[in-house]
Structure 1
């Protein structure tokens, strides 16, 4: 029988969805029937990845889309499964990652009037007034499937919205009777449902921006996620080299600019320090950055001329957000940079000014890299985060993808990994911890040929639901390496408390309520659940050897987790 569920699954296939990360429940009998029927007939549909926890399912879809730009499907169980997506839907929404989430809904009949009518007690408890409202603050679009006659149109519209800039997750729900409904097949031409075309800078404003860049003594580019498009990185390098413009990465979600390029002037996370290049800048191009700086810690001068370019320049989903920009442009970064570079081809920069600036920024870059190198020196007594990250950099190759959820060591990882290739480095792009495990699964599914290394704090490792992550990794043959920067607690709340109360009671008492059980064997969770190789590393001299052993296991098809003990919080 051809049902609404059959049409729904076909629409996902037509739209190019490769995987459905699924946590099935009592609302999905028709979907299960359709999937089994398709399998028996060798009918091609997206592959189902059974996901024992919804947070991991969403994080995996997030990671896959981050790496490929292609949204995947997530299927969860009514409002309970929707709520169990938890912080993972926050991450996808804030990081502007396209994902389609589908949830069933409790049946709307109870006396057998229709196929799928209520037949389990849970159907009454799971019937809520506004299931879609759970997701409304975290999705670009939500709707209810009411009939199989237009379900394909709803799926294609949802994915069109999801993939259009600013990208983000979308949510569909359907009650059991609707998904069981017999219907007729509808043919859809997916080429008629493409995302909205990228926006460009207004022609009259391109020259204004270019003129300011040409006249600037100390121009600067600030970015966070421009590297979502690899071609945009190339255009940014071209601009930086043409005018000797330094590039500063604030809260980087991707590799946005090669760390070894002489115009790269570093990264900033929550460090309580003013960046000297930002302070000195007289013209700033902030492009693809939600948080280009934190004003109470690090900001440009009041006289700086700022241009802001982003797919979402108003940040309407951030109630408090503003920067003093001369112009706000809603534009695609790749398109905008092409326009700027094209306009510069007709200009003649002041070569003496450019040359002097190139020499100055190159010297700053060299000093910065020397400081990074000095911080990596081996300490015979403790494993420092800097040394650990440097060892990871030394054992990885050009076929490696780094995931960074090291939280209070975010800055250490970005600086000491020093990513140089687009698509080789990612952070979650948002604030809900635990993205690392599911995202590593999704990225490995997207690129089985790549080596995926997840660098995580012990807190964010626990948030990732590692038991689920690693049972899935073994089941679906997606081995990756996890390195836990284990300081036995949440360092972030301590930093936050000291940031507000530097000499407060908590500091005087040295009590921050952040310490974890020191006897926990975190890597053993992965070993028990997913047959991962597990090792605790406590001696600095063992770090490189342990990394090499773990990578050997990963390349032989077995996940590995290294619980590396760094100084306690």
Structure 2
């Protein structure tokens, strides 16, 4: 039979989708039959990865797409499976990560009028009035399949939208009867649905931006996710080196600039103080950043001129958002920076001014490096996040891919893992915790020969559904090292409460209901679910050897390793 289910698999295969991360339900007989038929007949289809948890499935697709730029597919069942995607949908939407999501619908007939008609009690309970509305605010596109005749065209269109900037997830639904419907095969070519071409800067903007940088005493570029395209990082390094422009990362979700470059000025997250470099800048170019600064604690000088280049410069899906940018351009970062560099090839550069700027930022870079080195010294009794991260850096090297969900330890991890190469550190780019485990599986499937290291807080580790993650990692042979920054509770809500009520009752309370005491056996969960190497580390002198042993388990034994490292209690 050639059904709508067959057509969907064929379209995904044509579009270059390598994996379907699946949590099948009673609404998927057509897909299950089409998959079995394809395997029996030797017809190529995307590989199916069984995910017992829907959010993990979405995180897998998210991680794969972040690393490769190619959208993958997620299959869930009806309204229940859609709701179980939960925060992972938020992550993909806010981080502009392309994912194709398909969910079934309860059958639309109940007396056997068509193949796939209702035959289980659950199909009445799962029938809701607007299933697509559950996730519509987060989707770039949503649609319902109504006929088997155009399934392939809708799949290709949805992927075209997902992979066009600003990228994001798409959501397609189809009732059982539609998915069971037989049809004639339709010939399609994925090349007929290309993503929108990268947008350039207007010619006048190129000249204006170069003039603004050259006139500035302290020009600064602020970025968060420019490094999603390694070509943009290359162009940024070239541009900044030529003109002596400093680079500050704000809430970075990628490696946006080499940390060893003298022009690199560090990164800012929720630091409760004014960033000196940001405050001193007289011209700021924001490139690909959702939160370039937090005005209540750290912001540019009132005299600073601000410009923005972004695929989504107005952040139209965020109801409250603005910065005082007098120049605002919707453009692709790599394309725009290449234009600026090409213009510099023809422009007169004030080399003396550029050298003054280079010397200034290089001195600030040296001061920062000295302070980071001081923080990496081991304590006598307590393991610090800075020391722990430095131990991991020394053991895993500069080529390992670090997946960062450290939450209150985001800055320490980012500072001390000190990535220099594009594509060697990722954060989710959004706000729903529990992304790391699935992301590591997706990335490892994409690039099996790379070493992957998850660095996560204990709270975000629990959110990641580790029993599902480590079962999947063993089944699909995707080993990675996990380092848990265990402060035995949710530290982030405590910080938030004290920031708003520094002298209130919360500041004096002994218990804010945020601790995880008695501590769960985090590494034991991974060992039980997936045969992972498990180790609890409580003393500074045991950290380096523990990381080395865990890494050996990953590289030599090809199994996951989880290090439960105890920091100071929250």
TM-based fold match above 0.5: yes
Aligned to 1:95: 95
Matched, 1:350 2:343: no
Task: Kindly report which structure 2 residues correspond to 1:485-564, keeping only aligned pairs within 5 A, or say none.
Answer: 485-555=485-555, 556-564=557-565
Contact 2:488 2:519 in 1 (8 A): no
Pair 1:473 & 2:473 matched: yes
Deviations 1:127-169 (A, max 9, x none): 0000000110111000001111000000000000000000000
* Conserved 8 A contact 2:251-2:269: yes
* C-alpha displacement of 1:397: 2.3
- What stretches of structure 1 move > 6 A for 4+ residues in a row? none
What is residue 205 of structure 1 aligned with on the other side? 205
Q: Tell me the equivalent position of 1:315.
A: 315
SS in 2 for 1:110: coil
Question: Aligned partners of 2:453, 2:410: CA distance in 1, in Å?
Answer: 15
Structure 2 residue matching 1:380: 3-state secondary structure: coil
Q: 1:147 is matched with which residue? A: 147
SS at the partner of 1:478?
Answer: coil
Distance 1:199 1:339 in 2: 11
In structure 1, distance between residues paired with 2:177 and 2:398: 51
Distance across 1 between alignment mates of 2:171 and 2:352: 55
Structure 2 partner of 1:454: 454
Structure 2 residue aligned with 1:108: 108
User: Residues 9-37 of structure 1, C-alpha deviation per residue, up to 9 Å, x if partnerless?
Assistant: 10000000000000000000010000001
In the alignment, which residue of structure 1 is the partner of 2:2? 2
SS in 2 for 1:149: helix
Per the normalisation by structure 1, the TM-score is 0.99
* Alpha-carbon distance between aligned partners in 2 of 1:280 and 1:212, rounded to the nearest angstrom: 16
* Deviation by residue 1:484-522 (Cα, 9 ceiling, x = unmatched): 000000000000001101111011123322001324111
2:15 aligns to what? 15
The SS at the match of 1:150 is helix
Aligned residues of 2:399 and 2:421 also touching (Cα < 8 A): no
State the distance in 1 between where 2:367 and 2:205 align.
36
Paired position in structure 2 for 1:224: 224
The equivalent residue for 2:237 is: 237
- Report the 3-state secondary structure (helix = DSSP H, G, I; strand = E; otherwise coil) of the residue aligned with 1:434: coil
Q: What's the offset of the Cα at 1:364?
A: 0.4
- Find out whether 1:39 has 2:39 as its counterpart: yes
Q: Which residue of 1 aligns with 2:71?
A: 71
Specify the alignment match of 2:191 in structure 1.
191
Q: How does 1:293-332 map to 2 (within 5 A)?
A: 293-332=293-332
Q: Distance in 1 between matches of 2:530 and 2:384?
A: 29
Report the counterpart of residue 179 of structure 2 in structure 1.
179
Partners in 2 of 1:445 and 1:559 — Cα distance?
14
Question: Are the counterparts in 2 of residues 493 and 512 from structure 1 also a CA contact under 8 Å?
Answer: no
Q: State the SS of the aligned residue for 1:167.
A: coil
What residue number does 2:568 align with? 567
Deviation of 1:345 after TM superposition, in Å, equals 1.6
On the 8 A contact 2:398/2:419 being kept in 1, the answer is no
Q: Secondary structure at the match of 2:349?
A: coil
1:376 alignment partner in structure 2: 376
Partner of 2:136: 136
Deviation at 1:203, TM superposition (A): 1.1
1:159 & 1:287 partners in 2: Cα distance? 26
CA deviation vs aligned residue, 1:215-263 (integer Å, no higher than 9, x gap): 1111000000000110110100001100110000000010000000000
Q: Give the Å deviation of 1:347.
A: 1.7
Residues 502-560 of structure 1: CA distance to partner in whole angstroms, max 9, x if unpaired? Answer: 11101112332200132411111110000101110011111011111111110121101
Task: Indicate the residue corresponding to 1:276 in structure 2.
Answer: 276
How large is the RMSD of aligned CA atoms in angstroms? Answer: 0.7
User: Structure 1 residue 380: deviation in Å?
Assistant: 1.6
Contact 1:199 1:330 in 2 (8 A): yes
CA contact (8 A) 1:96 1:167 kept: yes
User: Secondary structure of 1:345's match?
Assistant: helix
1:113 and 1:312 mapped to 2: Cα distance? 47
Task: Render the CA deviation track for 1:447-476: whole Å, top value 9, x for unaligned.
Answer: 100010000000000000000000000000
Three-state SS of the structure 2 residue aligned to 1:328 is strand
Q: In structure 2, what is the Cα distance between the partners aligned to 1:101 and 1:169?
A: 7
* Whole-angstrom distance in 1 between the partners of 2:233 and 2:196: 22
Secondary structure of the residue aligned to 1:356 is: helix
Residues 45-95 of structure 1, C-alpha deviations (whole Å, 9 max, x = no match): 000000000000000000000000000000001010000000000000000
Aligned to 1:338: 338
Gap runs ≥5 in structure 1: none
Distance in 2, Cα, partners of 1:519 & 1:267: 31
Q: In structure 1, what is the Cα distance between the partners aligned to 2:398 and 2:490?
A: 32
- Secondary structure of 2:149's counterpart equals coil
CA distance in 2, matches of 1:363, 1:314: 35
Residues 483 and 212 of structure 1: CA distance in aligned 2, closer, same or farther (over 3 Å): same
Q: Which runs of 5+ in 2 are unaligned?
A: none
